């Protein structure tokens, strides 16, 4: 629902968000009150000890104070349970109850001070049990007060004052156009500064230069534009994701036509091509995973990795190794050697240098596939996250091939950095001097997959035979024309419901629209949605059938926002541009559509059987297209399906299922696909 307005400003909490925390505090207060009642009843008439009169008065006032707080909490929880997310009318009295509850903190604070003074008074000679109970009461009071202050800071919205004015007065109350424009400009400016401060605070541990400052401003503008047009609080978003997940599971359980109609007969050329590319992908995924260095190696070998790496750190590194950047104790290089199985002499160049728009990579000779492999690391640092979030569009023009192609700005700058290193520093020339007959292969996972794809496009004219394998690349990467061009030499491998492969600004706008729609039109209270959703996520079962106002509406009616939806929109969002027939119809979209690179192999989990110490998961793979990834899917696996070890295990499983496939990986297949590196 719209954020709660108290003390003249909006807060990042709704009037229906007090059910669960209020019930928890009510439970504690009831136990507390009963404990004091028992203490008073047991020691009634025994307050003749020094300080006992003060103790008697303290307990009586504390009982009355706790009773008042309990009554207020009961009313607060009851009122907060009324209505629905988009119907706060039954909760209109909640601000008054909240003022009452906050007012009771003043006597509680005073009485906590009195209790602390009484406990610390050396002249008190009452029973130790009584003193300990009073001490516990004082501590409990202070703990609740501290947690309340922390909660207030968490739900504090720095834009609350301006947003409240914007929501209540609007821009249509006798304001001249210049005044309304200035007001909107001030609101946007303030929102951008707030987001920029938040980003700087998150990145306070890294050295900040001009590139960082430009990135901070760009990312702050992105977040401001995305969040400024809705009046949702975090719990609304959580409820929306829960509802979308259950709705999605209900749709998947219904029999329907498959989204991907593809030929996959064993004798077809398509199947042969797919099998070959899967074997190549499983092989090159090792290089993409190795680029992560020791964090990945330790993550996949938690019990033995440190012992093995400690043995490697004592070895002297060959002087002819071209290594830049910091690699303390040889952990990164040692991990890369163990994961890939290569020798020192097989590496042409390794860069551990990491800044914003400058990500680590290595160039190595792969004698098994007769390839020069450029492996680009994925996201592993704050600098990498800033590169990911620099999601503005940038032009990429290819001479004699393509003009006016759009690409992800941050990833393109990272690709350009590696391009300059490979070409200007003569790294590729050195590699082809050693192995002139080898082909060039560029690989990477996640951010590395996106960077590898753009880098491959840049190098394509100079190396016409190059291939690129992009594992779980970000979805908002290339314009339509560039994506079509890249199908000649780039293969993207996507596992299951991977979130990153579906991340693009239009998809995020679509997700926001779906959240607003399903939240605004659900006829259940938020606390029921959250409780049942948590049960479903943890214990499974059948999705709940939450009734909504969308039920029974025809398709034409569904193309227009409902009144409840409009109440959650501050102003028209780009996600509603396509739905609004009156305004913004002819304006260009704020976010151009960007797509996954190259041809797409989509790996899907078919079945899973869990045993005591392992799990047996079966996968299938098909050639897919970009339309399958035009919407973000909500699932617990949307994150795990992106992890490099999960992708590698899925590829190894598929290679093992290919007749005559697997090769050296056959032993790994029989061992349950949990790859271990010697």
Q: 568: which DSSP letter?
A: T
Here the tokens at position 451 are: 């960077």
First to last CA, the chain: 54
Q: Cβ(236)–Cβ(526) under 8 Å?
A: yes
For residue 591, the SS3 value is coil
What whole-number distance in Å separates Cα of residue 280 and Cα of residue 276? 6
Residue 608 dihedral angles phi and psi, to the nearest 5°? -145, 125
Backbone CA torsion sign across 289, 294, 295, 299: positive
For residue 364, the SS3 value is strand
Q: Which residues contact 61 (CB under 8 A, 6 or more apart)?
A: 111
Residue 396 dihedral angles phi and psi, to the nearest 5°? -135, 110
Q: Cβ(530)–Cβ(20) under 8 Å?
A: yes
Q: Which residues contact 44 (CB under 8 A, 6 or more apart)?
A: none
Backbone CA torsion sign across 647, 653, 657, 663: positive
For residue 423, the SS3 value is helix
Here the tokens at position 383 are: 């600098």
**Which uninterrupted H or E stretch holds 224?**
helix 210-227
166, burial (CB in 10 Å: exposed 0-12, middle 13-18, buried 19+): buried
CB atoms within 10 A of CB 191: 21
Q: Cβ(324)–Cβ(338) under 8 Å?
A: no
Give the residue numbers marked as catalytic: 446, 498
For residue 395, the SS3 value is strand
What whole-number distance in Å separates Cα of residue 502 and Cα of residue 459? 26
Q: Which residues contact 414 (CB under 8 A, 6 or more apart)?
A: 357, 358, 359, 387, 447, 451
What whole-number distance in Å separates Cα of residue 160 and Cα of residue 8? 9
């Amino acid at each position: 629902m719209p954020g709660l307005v108290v003390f003249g400003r909006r807060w990042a909490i709704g009037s229906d968000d007090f059910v669960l925390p209020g019930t928890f505090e009510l439970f504690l207060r009831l136990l507390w009150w009963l404990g004091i009642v028992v203490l008073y009843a047991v020691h009634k008439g025994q307050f003749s000890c020094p300080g006992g009169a003060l103790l008697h008065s303290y307990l009586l006032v504390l009982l009355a104070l706790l009773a008042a707080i309990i009554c207020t909490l009961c009313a607060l929880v009851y009122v907060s349970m009324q209505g629905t997310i988009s119907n706060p009318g039954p909760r209109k009295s909640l601000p008054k109850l909240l003022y009452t509850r906050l007012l009771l903190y003043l006597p509680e604070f005073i009485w906590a001070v009195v209790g602390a003074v009484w406990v610390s008074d050396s002249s008190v000679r009452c029973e130790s049990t009584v003193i300990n109970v009073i001490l516990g009461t004082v501590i409990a009071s202070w703990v609740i007060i501290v947690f309340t202050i922390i909660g207030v800071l968490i739900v504090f919205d720095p834009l609350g004052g301006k947003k409240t004015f914007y929501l209540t007065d609007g821009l249509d109350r006798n304001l001249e156009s210049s005044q309304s424009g200035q007001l909107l400009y001030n609101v946007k400016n303030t929102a951008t500064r707030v987001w920029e401060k938040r980003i700087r605070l998150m990145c306070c541990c890294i050295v900040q230069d001009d590139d960082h400052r430009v990135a901070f401003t760009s990312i702050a503008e992105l977040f401001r534009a995305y969040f400024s047009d809705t009046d949702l609080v975090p719990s609304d978003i959580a409820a929306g994701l829960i509802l979308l997940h259950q709705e999605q599971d209900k749709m998947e359980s219904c029999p329907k036509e498959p989204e991907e109609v593809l030929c996959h007969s064993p004798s077809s050329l398509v199947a042969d091509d797919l099998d070959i590319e899967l074997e190549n992908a499983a092989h090159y995924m090792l290089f993409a995973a190795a680029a992560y260095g020791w964090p990945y190696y330790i993550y996949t070998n938690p019990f033995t990795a440190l012992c093995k790496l400690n043995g490697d750190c004592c070895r002297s590194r060959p002087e002819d190794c071209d290594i830049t950047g910091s690699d303390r104790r040889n952990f990164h290089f040692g991990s890369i050697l163990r994961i890939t199985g290569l020798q020192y002499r097989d590496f042409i160049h390794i860069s551990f240098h990491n800044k914003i728009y400058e990500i680590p990579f290595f160039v190595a000779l792969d004698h098994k596939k007769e390839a020069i492999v450029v492996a680009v690391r994925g996201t592993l640092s704050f600098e990498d996250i800033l590169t990911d979030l620099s999601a503005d569009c940038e032009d990429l023009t290819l001479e004699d091939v393509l003009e006016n192609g759009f690409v992800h700005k941050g990833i393109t700058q990272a690709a350009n950095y590696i391009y300059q290193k490979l070409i200007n520093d003569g790294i590729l020339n050195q590699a082809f001097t050693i192995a002139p007959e080898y082909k060039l292969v560029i690989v990477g996972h996640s951010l590395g997959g996106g960077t590898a794809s753009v880098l491959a496009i840049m190098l394509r004219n100079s190396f016409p035979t190059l291939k690129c394998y992009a594992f779980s690349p970000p979805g908002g990467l290339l314009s339509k024309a560039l994506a079509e061009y890249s199908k000649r030499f780039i293969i993207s491998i996507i596992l299951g419901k991977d979130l990153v492969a579906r991340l693009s600004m239009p998809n995020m706008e679509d997700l926001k629209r779906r959240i607003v729609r399903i939240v605004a039109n659900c006829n259940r209270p938020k606390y029921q949605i959250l409780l049942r959703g948590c049960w479903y996520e943890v214990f499974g079962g059948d999705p709940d059938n939450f009734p909504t106002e969308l039920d029974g509406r025809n398709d034409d009616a569904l193309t227009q926002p409902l009144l409840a939806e409009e109440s959650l929109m501050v102003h028209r969002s780009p996600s509603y541009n396509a739905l609004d027939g009156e305004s913004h119809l002819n304006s260009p979209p704020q976010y151009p559509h960007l797509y996954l690179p190259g041809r797409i192999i989509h790996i899907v989990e078919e079945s899973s059987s869990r045993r005591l110490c392992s799990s047996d998961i079966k996968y299938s793979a098909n050639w897919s297209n970009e339309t399958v990834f035009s919407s973000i899917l909500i699932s617990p696996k949307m994150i795990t399906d992106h992890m490099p070890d999960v992708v590698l295990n899925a590829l190894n499983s598929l290679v093992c299922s290919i007749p005559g496939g697997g090769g050296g990986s056959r032993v790994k297949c029989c061992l349950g696909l949990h790859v271990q590196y010697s």
